[in-house]
Structure 1
Amino acid sequence: MRGQKSGLINNSDVSLSHGKHKNLEGTCIDKGLVQNRSKPVKKKPSCSSGRGSCPEEMHIKSQHEKCKAAQQSPEYVKVTPTEISKWRFKVQLEGEGTYECSATGLVFEVSEQALVRYSVLSWSETSELLPDSWRPAGSVYDVDVVNKDPSVLKFIHFPHSLCLAEPEHELSISVLHVKDRHADIEPTVDFTASHVKWRVSSLSPVGPIIPSRQHAKHHGAVLVYKQQDHLEQFCFHVFLAPNNKSEIKAIEEQVLSSGKKLINMHLSAACRLEEKNYQLKSKPEGKIMPSQIEFITEGTMLKGFFVAIFDQPPPFELFLMDPDINQELWTARITKGDWADKEEPKPRKITEVQSSCQKKMARLEVMPNNNPLLPDTNRGQALSSKQLMQVAETLGQEWGRVGLYLDLSTTDLDDIKEGEKDVTMQKMKMLERWQRRTPGGEATAQDLLRGLEDLKDLPVETRQLLTDMMNGSLTLPDHKANA
């Protein structure tokens, strides 16, 4: 794993917005011009921007004026995916053609009808496989075609975070293709202002990269969270990241695991950033720590951020500065109403507790034993090998966390990965190992669902499948085909 830096972030292809917005909208300040070219050689392509909104509005819309003017994307068929779980999707492509996912900006070229399933990964998950001589240039995705040969998916166009409006030199963009426990660096077919086109060789995690030696600017995301459990003061956490989903996902995960009550203020906006230090300032002046943060594109486990603290309530403004030229790159105004929005009579903790209780009660209603404190005299039949395989096929990249929630150790998971190369079979072996350790080896769907009750990103289809099994379905559907 690469060393952690106190800098900002790395990859997830979202697009962001410049332009002038009021109050909750951040404003990026950039006055350049742009040209649009389509060839990958000796060109001045324009910048990327994310398109569309996803089931949970994952995009920060990129409206860098120089890039917008040059970035007229082809008229692909726009498709809206089904969200399987957080950061995991599936979409049915109805026939030969080129389709663009409204949630991620991914573009798929297929030779026939296909059901495509894909997940956003964090670069920190693959950073140990990325040589130091390369840096991420967009999000990394794990893509799969369900029940068909991968060859039906001919090309994938990956959104990138590079700002190519005024390139100082010709860029070389490749992809990192993760295969089992190693990775290959593969060439791309073409790249444009917003996407990198890759010919599918096999399906496993892939993401765009550029050589570290190449100087490049990135569309940057400024993500502002307000901390509402910070005593009597007004506290904000401000993250910088390349404008791509992998890094935005990593920030979300870091925020959720922080133990603090941090709420996204949706002040995000796009600005062009390069790998150097930046400052955050405010009006009126508040306490801001640290004084500077380095914007980096290398995938790291922990992302650096500014903390801005004010003794008095809003309004106030935040400014991202380039200290080398004393120039404002981004600004946002926060009003008293913005801070109070989440403090109105919408008690999040109570709502969350009620929602959690309702979900637990709903699950208990379908369980043979409605009192979890009583012995399970009617837990149902033990899961068969076929049923375990059906469960395995619904799991995505989170299957390792599933194993940990089922009390397997990291050594168990490493042993499984070492002994089995096929990912689906790795998931199956993980479930079999859990089953063997269940008293009597008679693990049921109820046992499995209870063990995973607190796993937040358990796929919806996994939970539904286990519920169906608990309800006594004798003829189970092929969930892989319907995933």
Structure 2
Amino acid sequence: MSRGAGVAESSDDHSASSEEKDCPSPNLDTSKDSKSGEDSSSESSSESESDNETPKPEKTNGELRESSTEDASNQEFNEIQSHCEHCNAENKHNELVTPRLLSRGQFLLKVDTEGTYQCMETGLIFEVNRKVDIKYCVLSWSKYADLVVKPWVVGGPLFDVKCDPTCLTSIHFPHSLCLGHCDANMTFKVLHVKSTGASLEYTVDHSATHVKWHVSSLSPVGPVIQSEETVFHHGAVILYKAIDHNPSLSFRVYIATNNESFIKDISKSVKHSSKKFMKIDKPPVCQKLLQNGKKYRLISDPEAEITPEEIEFVDGSLLKLKSYSEVYLEQPVEFKLLLVEMDSEEIVWKAKLRECDWVQHDQNPNISKSSTSGNRRRKMSSSLPDEVVYDKRMKQIGTSDGVKTKTLLTDTQLINLAEKLGKEWVKIAIANLKLKISDIDAILEKKEDVTINKFRMLKKWQEKEQSNATAQNLWNCLKNINSVEVQDVLKGFLQET
């Protein structure tokens, strides 16, 4: 992905500028490091329009959300949780909230009272002193690459936050570093990009997961670091499969820091490629820390063509073009893929890719070229509110010839739904899905993660329904469930059929 460098002009009413609009880049002011808490006029910039956009259906509105140990959601802006022996879970006393998702990657969080709130989608933590509406989004570091000057390097995602700055006491930015090795010799600051220039501002504190900054004014802000020792990154491996009519398999493998700005850049790069790709949902978190300059090798079993096989890892947050490896197999067979550190020969990440990971998606009619009339219909419907489009879609499904409604649900869809089901999933299984209590007992005996239990419950329903295990049938069973998140997922299933 390539974007022009620059910062959008600020405005008093905090209106966001268009993503495509380029403005002159401010100069980095390193001679005036401003300490947190200094008074400054409120400023705002953004890479996307948001204030005049119609919000999508709200998931929750600042409600507590049931936590799970793994996140298999297929959303573009997911936080990829890291699991590291050096980084214990912190911030346990923060209220976990799920923001409202607006269009163009914008989030809206409505806070009703004073407190400390952690966004479940981005990891941001907000300390507020009264009721406030906070709008924010993830930005690309590559747009501001010329402002990050050595010895400073990127420490985590870059955000644009907009609200009344007098209501927001401090922000805790998530970072992608492991501090178990060199915390004492590492300095954190925050790069604050303003229309009048950019400066490195002092932080208040940092933890194993976050960097705390007292709000001075609001505009693009993100953590940067300076270290006297080797920097260790929590890493992620992101997989995409090329979609075409060839029997062969072709994948893109991206090795990234666990940094939402980086991961968002990868997603946009793939989206704007001349080829069509689908994301392969595999656990992305590297089980061993990544280091700049270290060499890593991709290995496939059975053997595949991998270009390049060897990779020297660098944090590519500031690079417009994100590097990747291509994995190619002539025949569509199941295979294992491993990332190995060359010096120690230790496995950093591994996954098994099965036919079910891609075959359902390859058969999706949406990947084929649409007719002119089809494009016209989509353009017309895109101008309608989401609720109207959904109602029209429901009518189309209800009057269809039965072919589309017979598309069976995939494991990926079921795990996404399982994550949204709440604590009453057992009641739902018996009352709505007509499962037996013995089925539930058999699932609970395995003593697995609660999300996996819910997934197995849905699989049991699928086995019972067999050819009737469709999105329409599942909607009919669960349409009375009082959960906005569940209903959103079910509507998405219907729209995919």
Asked if Structure 1 and Structure 2 have the same fold, meaning a TM-score greater than 0.5 normalized by the shorter chain, the answer is yes
SS in 1 for 2:273: coil
Tell me the amino acid that sits aligned with residue 74 of structure 1: K
Cα deviation 1:61-106 (Å, max 9, x = unaligned): 42525156x2132321222211122321111111211111111111
SS in 1 for 2:123: coil
Using a 3 Å threshold, how does the CA distance of structure 1 residues 139 and 319 change in structure 2: closer, same or farther?
same
Q: Unaligned regions of 5+ residues in structure 1, if any?
A: 3-48, 367-483
SS in 2 for 1:239: strand
Give the Cα separation in 1 of the matches to 2:160 and 2:358: 37
Give the Cα separation in 2 of the matches to 1:317 and 1:51: 21
SS in 2 for 1:172: strand
2:238 is the counterpart of 1:223: yes
1:170-185 equivalent positions in 2, closer than 5 A: 170-180=185-195, 182-185=197-200
Using a 3 Å threshold, how does the CA distance of structure 1 residues 346 and 97 change in structure 2: closer, same or farther?
same
Using a 3 Å threshold, how does the CA distance of structure 1 residues 181 and 284 change in structure 2: closer, same or farther?
farther
Cα deviation 1:296-324 (Å, max 9, x = unaligned): 22510001000010112221011101111
Aligned 8 A contact 1:177 1:207 in 2: yes
Shift of 1:177: 0.7
Shift of 1:216: 1.3
Give the Cα separation in 2 of the matches to 1:53 and 1:313: 24
Aligned 8 A contact 1:54 1:103 in 2: no
Aligned 8 A contact 2:234 2:257 in 1: yes
Using a 3 Å threshold, how does the CA distance of structure 1 residues 72 and 126 change in structure 2: closer, same or farther?
same
User: Which residue number corresponds to residue 302 of structure 2?
Assistant: 284
Tell me the amino acid that sits aligned with residue 197 of structure 1: K
SS in 2 for 1:253: helix
Shift of 1:60: 5.1
2:350 is the counterpart of 1:331: yes
1:254-333 equivalent positions in 2, closer than 5 A: 254-271=269-286, 272-276=289-293, 277-298=295-316, 299-333=318-352
Shift of 1:163: 1.4
Using a 3 Å threshold, how does the CA distance of structure 1 residues 334 and 351 change in structure 2: closer, same or farther?
farther
TM-score w.r.t. length of structure 1: 0.60
User: Which residue number corresponds to residue 462 of structure 1?
Assistant: none
1:461-472 equivalent positions in 2, closer than 5 A: none
TM-score w.r.t. length of structure 2: 0.59
User: Which residue number corresponds to residue 473 of structure 1?
Assistant: none
- Structure with more relative contact order (C-alpha pairs < 8 Å, separation 6 or more): 1
Aligned 8 A contact 2:76 2:267 in 1: no
User: Which residue number corresponds to residue 91 of structure 1?
Assistant: 109
Deviating more after overlay: 180-189 vs 237-246: 180-189
2:206 is the counterpart of 1:191: yes
Aligned 8 A contact 1:156 1:198 in 2: yes
User: Which residue number corresponds to residue 477 of structure 2?
Assistant: none
Using a 3 Å threshold, how does the CA distance of structure 1 residues 364 and 61 change in structure 2: closer, same or farther?
closer
Aligned length: 315
1:196-211 equivalent positions in 2, closer than 5 A: 196-211=211-226
2:178 is the counterpart of 1:160: no
Aligned 8 A contact 1:50 1:104 in 2: no
Aligned 8 A contact 1:53 1:103 in 2: no
2:71 is the counterpart of 1:56: no
Give the Cα separation in 2 of the matches to 1:51 and 1:319: 20
Once superposed, what is the RMSD of the aligned Cα atoms?
2.8
Cα deviation 1:3-42 (Å, max 9, x = unaligned): xxxxxxxxxxxxxxxxxxxxxxxxxxxxxxxxxxxxxxxx
User: Which residue number corresponds to residue 243 of structure 1?
Assistant: 258
Tell me the amino acid that sits aligned with residue 149 of structure 2: P
Aligned match for 2:97, one of 63, 76, 79: 79
SS in 1 for 2:213: strand
1:433-444 equivalent positions in 2, closer than 5 A: none
Aligned 8 A contact 2:173 2:212 in 1: yes
SS in 2 for 1:58: coil
Shift of 1:295: 2.0
Shift of 1:151: 2.1
SS in 1 for 2:238: strand
Tell me the amino acid that sits aligned with residue 337 of structure 1: C
Using a 3 Å threshold, how does the CA distance of structure 1 residues 190 and 239 change in structure 2: closer, same or farther?
same
SS in 2 for 1:151: coil
Give the Cα separation in 2 of the matches to 1:180 and 1:120: 18
1:420-459 equivalent positions in 2, closer than 5 A: none
Aligned 8 A contact 2:247 2:332 in 1: no
Using a 3 Å threshold, how does the CA distance of structure 1 residues 91 and 60 change in structure 2: closer, same or farther?
closer
Give the Cα separation in 1 of the matches to 2:70 and 2:168: 22
Shift of 1:213: 4.5
Aligned 8 A contact 2:296 2:312 in 1: yes
Shift of 1:259: 1.1
